[in-house]
Amino acid sequence: MFMTIDHTTTNVMLVDHHTLFRDGVRSILQANQNIRVVAEAANGTTAVEVAPRARPDVILLDVDTGGTHVTTVVRRVRETVPHCHVIVLTMHDDAQLLSELLGLGIRGYLLKTVGWKDLVAAVSSVVTDPDRVVLSVSPSTVARAHTPQVNPLSSRESEILQLTSHAMSNAQIANRLSLTEATVKRHLHNVFRKLNAVSRLDAVNKARAAGLLSSAPAIAA
């Protein structure tokens, strides 16, 4: 859902598949008279569709976006609503993912254990201070995120392998990413070659061991 935007306040969009979590965050934010929740979505696909119409100032985006990789959601949102500031909420203190998201221009990466005062402050500060990036992770994660890493996979290959790790078939991946099944197979062939993998499971496990995939359940053998 979304409602008419009021530019006298900081307008926020919530993206999380847990309704109860969205309800709680909405109540926390709207207790502040300068913040209003103008849109909500349960997954990344819906968020990408709704954001251009709602045009929020800030999107609070859960890292689990329902099949579409969070980096894809961030990229598409920033393409369609370039003025919007994206703050990612997560349960994972993941240096590799943090590094990728910072490269895409997110303005915050907060663990869901963050206090409500810090959450409200983060929303307000990324709007008022264009140079501020708000992080709520361990110092070691920040250090690893800023350490240059060589990723042999292209962004599309990483995206396809991430979906593969969720046990999605080539046909499902093709449908999700608006690609042909042959294109998905070609990308996976390149992934196998680059990682010296002999199967989908082998590729996922090797990529995860190398820190090339964000935290998620691996596919079954």
What tens-digit pLDDT sequence spans the chain (221 residues)?
A: 444 444 578 999 999 999 999 999 999 999 999 999 999 999 999 999 999 999 999 999 999 887 778 888 998 999 999 999 999 999 877 777 888 888 889 999 999 989 999 999 999 999 998 888 888 876 666 666 665 556 788 889 999 999 999 999 999 999 999 999 999 999 999 999 888 888 999 898 888 877 777 654 444 43
| CA angle at 31 for the pair 25 and 32, rounded to the nearest 5° | 105
In this structure, the number of other CB atoms found within 10 A of the CB of residue 161 comes to 26
Tokens for 131? 């140079």
Sequence spans of domains, the chain: 10-145, 155-209
Residue 81 backbone dihedrals phi, psi, to 5 degrees: -130, 70
Give the CATH class of 155-209: mainly alpha
Residue 87 · residue 59 · CB < 8 Å: yes
Q: Which residue has the tokens 């240096």?
A: 95
Homologous superfamily assigned to 10-145: Response regulator (3.40.50.2300)
> Any idea which residue has 């859960």 for tokens?
62
| CA pair distance 26, 161, nearest whole angstrom | 34
